[in-house]
Amino acid sequence: LQGALAVCLVGSALPASALPGFDEVRRAFQPSDTLILSHEGAIDKYIGDSVMAFWGAPEIQDDHAARACRAALAIRAALAADPGSPAIRIGIQSGPTLVGNIGAPGRLNYTLVGDTVNVAQRLEQLGKSVSPAERTTILIAAATFDHLRGSQVRTEKVGEMQMTGTDKLILVHRL
């Protein structure tokens, strides 16, 4: 696998009894789902108010990073056009990942695991502190940035950041 994307809806965690909250989550996921798929990504799973998607499996996509970034930018544009949509944060990381039927006998899921996935999720979380006032924050790591050379995706360097759960510094860019 080559790239992972984590999308989190900000402030959308509501008790199950709050039915209007389900409409908000569905309204945010619908364009995200459609745009991920239209950029030839695959949706791995929904985790609470988040969606995990990936590019580059089962078939290699040389432009996986550009596809993931274009999907993220399209999600931002779609939600910006809907004033009632929630704020979101997106983290994108590129790198090797284990993908396939993972789990225990009787409970296998086609999914992805590894440091690349963890960094994508941590980048999404980092958006809370990097851009707290933005409705949509999209952060990518240096590995994804390196794959964007020659594409028309524009980035802004944020700087080296400490990721939760690791002592490594990661160079972060914002779309």
- Alpha-carbon Rg of the chain, whole angstroms? 16
User: What's the pLDDT tens digit per position in 74-103?
Assistant: 999 998 998 877 788 999 999 888 888 999
Percent of the chain, pLDDT > 90? 43
- The yes-or-no verdict on residue 20 having pLDDT over 50 is yes
63 φ/ψ angles, rounded to the nearest 5 degrees: -105, 30
- The yes-or-no verdict on residue 11 having pLDDT over 50 is no
pLDDT of residue 9: 57
User: What's the pLDDT tens digit per position in 90-145?
Assistant: 999 998 888 889 999 899 999 888 888 889 999 999 998 998 888 899 999 999 99
For residue 16, what pLDDT band results from cuts at 50, 70 and 90? very low
Separation of alpha carbons 63 and 14, rounded Å: 37
More confident residue, 52 or 24: 52
Separation of alpha carbons 2 and 141, rounded Å: 13
